[in-house]
Structure 1
Amino acid sequence: MQEIVGKALTVRELLKGVKYSIDYYQREYKWQTKQIQELVDDLTGKFLEGYEPGHARAEVAKYPHYFLGSIIISKKDNDRYIVDGQQRLTSLTLLITLLRRLQVGISQPVSVDELILSEKYGKKSFNLHVDELDRTRCMEALYEAQPFDPADSSESVRNLYGRFQDLEEYFPSELRADALPYFVDWLTEKVHLVEITAYSDDDAYTIFETMNDRGLSLSPTDMLKGYLLTNIADAAARAKADTRWRARIRELADAGKDVEPDFFKAWLRSQYATKIRERKKGAQPEDFDRIGTEFHRWLRSASQAIGLQTSDQYVRFIERDFDFYSRWYQRLVDASRGPVGGLEHVMYNADHGFTLQHMLLLAPLTPDDDQTVARRKIRLVARFVDILLAWRLWNFRSIAYSTLQYAMFLVMREIRGLEVGPLGERLHGALMRESETFASNDRLRVHQQNRYALHRMLARLTDYVETRSGLPSRYTDYVNAGKVRYEVEHIWADHPERYADEFSHPTDFAEHRNRIGGLLLLPKSFNASYGDDPYDEKLPHYNAQNLLARSLVPQCYEHNPGFLQFTQDTGLPFHPHPKFTKADLEERSDLYRRIAEQVWDPNDLLRDADF
């Protein structure tokens, strides 16, 4: 083995003007929303341990350091090839790109351009180089804040684009104003990585394998199991508990890579967390936070407080509690991935990337609940979350993990162990305390940051109209890229000159064109064929589409008993639109709002708790 060099570097030292190449077999970017959420939460949480609004910028030098891990580099002919750490460096580059955007227009921004790309002989290129044209186009669009359609890109590029959208969604609002340059200073100067450099591929991969494969390191779950079993005195009971534990862990592991550790965090938080760290300087991690980072250590320190003192109590903890909550968690994972009868709202919430829901869904459950009672409780909580998310999205409010974490912690603590009736009343009361509903915003419109969420909301509105009219549900078809790919499409083509008599300026036209009432969910092929046509020319083609689109067409109101009965039962003001003027668009916006009020009705919580 040749010389090996290890060096701790700040983010600025690591990325400024330094080119990293990624070999063809390392190109895939695989991080998902969960990893981005954890990265943002870890970094912002550590930053806020030091930050105070009155600080001078120089105070950042005294803020706590943060270690982001190591990367392994193979250096060949002055080129640096990443052997391990591509996921982390790519995600870090995306975060810095977002911070560059957020700093536009603020006084004294922190320059980060050289951390993203550099210039040589008059040509700019990204510091993290992948020889893939589509990826470069995507990064250029993100860097320049330009539109990019990842629909026909590779999975890796779609992930790249998707994770940037996640960063936009999850980066905390409280760090987007005065605190922003402080955070950028801290990230670039106080966050460190260790760069391990080898001078041959063989040496680099030897280091990688040694760091990742050597030894049999115990996972947090292994350590938790050891602690629990050690406290069971009877050998036969211990053996039985061990068998139960291994069987359930195996099933959780089979359900997905991170299902097992995520279960323990959701379970222990849902039943035992009583405090959460305040987001201010010097605040210490509380049980909610410790469960998220070291649940095995937390349980050891909290064992007496949660009722683990005798051998029998440890047996019951595994045989009853662990078994009960792990089985329900596994059902929730299944329900989040596809429609499960009676638990569809779990899937709807998962489709919005709302990872906080599992701890909420487990919170009211008790090991004495039978299947029927447990499902009713889960359905109530899932519907509560569904309504809350819909209200926030309708009002342009964030549903990011960091934004809602504290509020959801309070709800979780409030509903812990409740019976069905009181649970419905408590959740309904929590919604009644919200200040913004569908009625709060009559100008909902689609934009770059909410297109994904509005796609799902339009799918719900469309599905509601169709299922209430007696048609089968097609929600999953509308949101998943199957044989037919559905997209959010505008009723008006992007031709302001066609509407010059109603709009004096193109920007006014564009604002109205993007409003919810001017949108439909249609196959991508439809827009390619008719999207640019005048309304009166494409109107007949709507009659072959979903029922919400068809409702624009006069023929929809003829020989359509299911739909006509639906409109009569609900009182929704459907009517055909032979022309589509500004007034028509505003009528459709009001119609969509009324449909939304029926889809997401808080009183359903009281009705469901009562039946």
Structure 2
Amino acid sequence: MSKDNHKIDADDRTIFDVLNERKYTVDYFQREYSWEQKHIEQLVTDLTSSFLDAYSPGDSRPSVEHYNNYYLGPFVVSSKGGMKSIIDGQQRLTSLTLFLIYLNNLQKELGGNESIEPLVFSEKYGKKSFNIQVEERKECLEKLFLDGCYEVKPGDDESTVNMVRRYADIGEAFPEDIKGNSFPYFLDWLKYNVILVEITAYSDDNAYTIFESMNDRGLNLTSTEMLKGYILSRFDEAKDREKANRFWRDSIQSLHLHSKDEDQRFFQAWLRSQYADTIRQGKAGSSNEDFEKIGTRFHSWFRDNLAKISVDANSPEDFRTLLHTELKFYLRAYLEILEGQRTEKAGWENVFYHSQWGIADSLSFPLMMAPLKSTDNPDVTRQKINEVASFLETFAVRRSINFRKFGASSVRYTMYSLVKEIRGKTLNSLRSILTAKLAEMPETWEGMGEFHLHGMNRAFVKFLLSRITGFIEQQSGGATNFSTYFLNNGKKPFEVEHIWADKFAEHRDEFEQRHEFESYRDRIGDLVLLPQGTNQSYGSMPYSDKVEHYLKENLLVKSLHPKAYKNNPNFLKMNERLGLEFRPHKSFNKSDIDERQELIQSICEVIWSREPIP
């Protein structure tokens, strides 16, 4: 290997330097894009909060040059023959590309003409291509770039599905207060003040060595490590420090079993849930407050706010109580929430449902932990967490059927105010507050009357149908549940399918225009869940033939056929007990869709009622 092959360069680069008309390939071993909602939401929140902390209305655009810089971390590339291959950092760079596509589409809506496109795609040798080149993602990125949406198709890989979901999450997380006069300032700041370190190796072997070193060893002290150092320094006795150190080490290890950044998310959730009093006002030029400071540098906030935490800086006893009583209790609760999110299990169902469709973790975890007190027994702790999770799921579902956003930027003030309102409340008080909050919501179940499938809500429609289908099965004594229909679990996944075949000609007696037919066909009353491939075999059949096949499917589908009501006592008892109005449909016309739409609304009202299910 030549001397040049051993060469390594490390340079700080702005986002403009990194992405503007530059081409990268992505190695096969890290092709999958796997960021979750919490990761993209954290990225957007950190970037926008850092910008808003520096921006003041009335600033000139050139003054952005003197705003604070934001360090986004390192990425590693292997450079060979003039082409750079991303070895480490493609998750972050792919997320930035999605963010830039969103910003480019947003500026079209706002009437802007800033230069963003060269950061996303550029021309080389007369051919335009995306700057981060992965062939499998090309179609999805093109649709997002041109139309702002992409409808996931059967056969799309997990990276594509994930990119579509993360793109939607960006729209939910991006704050309204940067959509006005400050928008071009934000673009300038993002392009020229956000810094990455580009580490370039000139052989694959060297690049992989750097990649392994960066992932095996921490490069900088994290907020968690700095908080640990401060807390341990408060103990005078060596035995106290050693005990605290052991507890801290074991605690962090238990969090890292879930993810390498879980420790930081835990401290953010704990401190916000129990001690944060303020949040940045929703207008440009406002300063970051407790909520934002905990989200970025919680170790500094902790040290500066000991009075809020009821800790005396010179009292080892206070720190013993904080560590071995308070932190220990909230850590256990946090870990139980994480476990509850993993699988659908008795007593924790609401946590699981909400994790599949609900508000961002940065808000939901502080909310679920807010009413807890370290004196609560395990059962009360579980009930409080599930009460909040049930409220949050109901909130998200009702917003969704009314086509309202519930991303962090849309509901942060509402949810943060609620954190303070339910903090430390008893179980009965908590239930009363949450019931009242739902009663005050302007988004009611009446929105179900117009609810339909569209290009960007297929994931929610599948969630909704999975909850309804699983609920009916469970209430009728069936063995399947929500997870059966929503998750793949190594089997054929269930897919959202239309009862009506896509044949406008067969419905001309009820619709004059094709778009009217298509609009009705996408209503929730015409949609069911069927195993992948099932509907393809008889999807184009007339309803009278298709309904015969429905007898083999789940009860929500089977209920269309008259035979579902014979020799099926559990289903009939469930129907009567819950006051539902299931009935068979010998034909399926426009009025039948209306009727099924009303049925689904009534099922939703039972599922998400605050009253116990009879």
Scaled by the length of structure 2, what TM-score is found?
0.90
Q: Deviation per CA, 1:91-139, whole angstroms, max 9, x where unpaired?
A: 1112222233334455333343332222345432222123xx4233333
Q: Is the 8 A contact 1:71 1:193 kept in 2?
A: yes
Other-structure match for 1:293: 296
In the alignment, structure 1 residue 374 sits paired with structure 2 residue 381: yes
2:133 to 109, 129, 132: 129
In the alignment, structure 1 residue 493 sits paired with structure 2 residue 498: no
Other-structure match for 1:481: 488
Q: Is the 8 A contact 2:560 2:584 kept in 1?
A: yes
Other-structure match for 2:601: 593
Q: Is the 8 A contact 1:151 1:158 kept in 2?
A: no
Q: Which amino acid in the other structure matches residue 273 of structure 1?
A: A
Q: Is the 8 A contact 2:65 2:193 kept in 1?
A: yes
Q: Share of identical aligned residues, percent?
A: 41
Q: Deviation per CA, 1:463-512, whole angstroms, max 9, x where unpaired?
A: 22222222234211111113131111111122222111111111111111
SS at match of 2:533: helix
Change (3 A) 1:245 1:209: closer
SS at match of 1:442: helix
1:464 to 452, 458, 471: 471
Change (3 A) 1:501 1:389: same
Other-structure match for 2:311: 308
Q: Deviation per CA, 1:181-206, whole angstroms, max 9, x where unpaired?
A: 55445433543434444545566566
SS at match of 2:196: strand
Q: Is the 8 A contact 2:177 2:284 kept in 1?
A: no
2:397 to 373, 390, 403: 390
Other-structure match for 2:408: 401
1:118 to 119, 122, 134: 122
SS at match of 1:365: coil
SS at match of 1:489: strand
2:43 to 34, 39, 44: 39
Q: Is the 8 A contact 1:52 1:280 kept in 2?
A: no
Post-superposition shift, 1:209?
Answer: 6.4
1:101 to 102, 105, 123: 105
In the alignment, structure 1 residue 523 sits paired with structure 2 residue 526: no
Q: Deviation per CA, 1:321-380, whole angstroms, max 9, x where unpaired?
A: 111111111111100111231120000110115313221111111111112221221221
Q: Is the 8 A contact 2:275 2:308 kept in 1?
A: no
How far apart, in 2, do the equivalents of 1:254 and 1:8 lie? Answer: 32
Q: Is the 8 A contact 2:172 2:409 kept in 1?
A: no
How far apart, in 2, do the equivalents of 1:51 and 1:235 lie? Answer: 46
SS at match of 1:125: strand
In the alignment, structure 1 residue 318 sits paired with structure 2 residue 323: yes
Post-superposition shift, 1:249?
Answer: 2.7
Other-structure match for 2:90: 86
Q: Is the 8 A contact 1:468 1:566 kept in 2?
A: yes
Other-structure match for 1:233: 236
In the alignment, structure 1 residue 362 sits paired with structure 2 residue 369: yes
How far apart, in 2, do the equivalents of 1:176 and 1:307 lie? Answer: 39
Other-structure match for 1:267: 270
SS at match of 1:152: coil
Q: Deviation per CA, 1:272-300, whole angstroms, max 9, x where unpaired?
A: 11111223333222222222222222222
How far apart, in 2, do the equivalents of 1:107 and 1:140 lie? Answer: 21
1:337 to 338, 342, 346: 342
Change (3 A) 1:229 1:8: closer
Q: Which amino acid in the other structure matches residue 170 of structure 1?
A: A
Change (3 A) 1:119 1:590: same
Change (3 A) 1:467 1:215: closer
2:419 to 412, 418, 426: 412
Change (3 A) 1:328 1:6: closer
Q: Deviation per CA, 1:140-173, whole angstroms, max 9, x where unpaired?
A: 3433437453643444444334433433443345
Change (3 A) 1:323 1:4: closer
Q: Which amino acid in the other structure matches residue 456 of structure 2?
A: Q
How far apart, in 2, do the equivalents of 1:574 and 1:104 lie? Answer: 47
SS at match of 2:129: strand
In the alignment, structure 1 residue 248 sits paired with structure 2 residue 251: yes
Other-structure match for 1:328: 333
How far apart, in 2, do the equivalents of 1:232 and 1:189 lie? Answer: 44
Q: Is the 8 A contact 1:109 1:181 kept in 2?
A: no
Other-structure match for 2:567: 559
Other-structure match for 1:283: 286
Q: Deviation per CA, 1:180-239, whole angstroms, max 9, x where unpaired?
A: 555445433543434444545566566666766678754333332232232233444443
Q: Is the 8 A contact 2:150 2:164 kept in 1?
A: no
- Structure 1: runs of 5+ lacking an equivalent: none
Other-structure match for 2:163: 160
Q: Deviation per CA, 1:435-455, whole angstroms, max 9, x where unpaired?
A: 111124520111122111121
**In terms of mean alpha carbon deviation, does 564-573 or 175-184 score higher?**
175-184
Q: Which amino acid in the other structure matches residue 86 of structure 1?
A: Q
How far apart, in 2, do the equivalents of 1:54 and 1:398 lie? Answer: 30
In the alignment, structure 1 residue 550 sits paired with structure 2 residue 558: yes
1:514 to 511, 518, 522: 522
Q: Is the 8 A contact 2:57 2:182 kept in 1?
A: yes
Q: Which amino acid in the other structure matches residue 118 of structure 1?
A: S
How far apart, in 1, do the equivalents of 2:161 and 2:118 lie? Answer: 25
How far apart, in 1, do the equivalents of 2:441 and 2:204 lie? Answer: 57
Other-structure match for 1:540: 548
How far apart, in 1, do the equivalents of 2:32 and 2:608 lie? Answer: 39
Q: Which amino acid in the other structure matches residue 597 of structure 2?
A: S
How far apart, in 1, do the equivalents of 2:57 and 2:458 lie? Answer: 33
SS at match of 2:79: strand
Q: Is the 8 A contact 1:50 1:280 kept in 2?
A: no
How far apart, in 2, do the equivalents of 1:484 and 1:578 lie? Answer: 29
Other-structure match for 1:348: 353
Q: How many residues align?
A: 604
Other-structure match for 1:149: 152
How far apart, in 1, do the equivalents of 2:34 and 2:107 lie? Answer: 28
SS at match of 2:450: coil
SS at match of 1:12: helix
Post-superposition shift, 1:61?
Answer: 6.3
Other-structure match for 1:140: 142
Q: Which amino acid in the other structure matches residue 436 of structure 1?
A: E
- Structure 2: runs of 5+ lacking an equivalent: none
Q: Which amino acid in the other structure matches residue 339 of structure 1?
A: E
How far apart, in 1, do the equivalents of 2:70 and 2:18 lie? Answer: 14
Change (3 A) 1:213 1:345: closer
How far apart, in 1, do the equivalents of 2:374 and 2:171 lie? Answer: 39
How far apart, in 2, do the equivalents of 1:329 and 1:544 lie? Answer: 42
Post-superposition shift, 1:399?
Answer: 2.0
How far apart, in 1, do the equivalents of 2:470 and 2:92 lie? Answer: 39
Q: Deviation per CA, 1:47-87, whole angstroms, max 9, x where unpaired?
A: 33456788887776676544433434433322223333322
How far apart, in 2, do the equivalents of 1:210 and 1:98 lie? Answer: 33
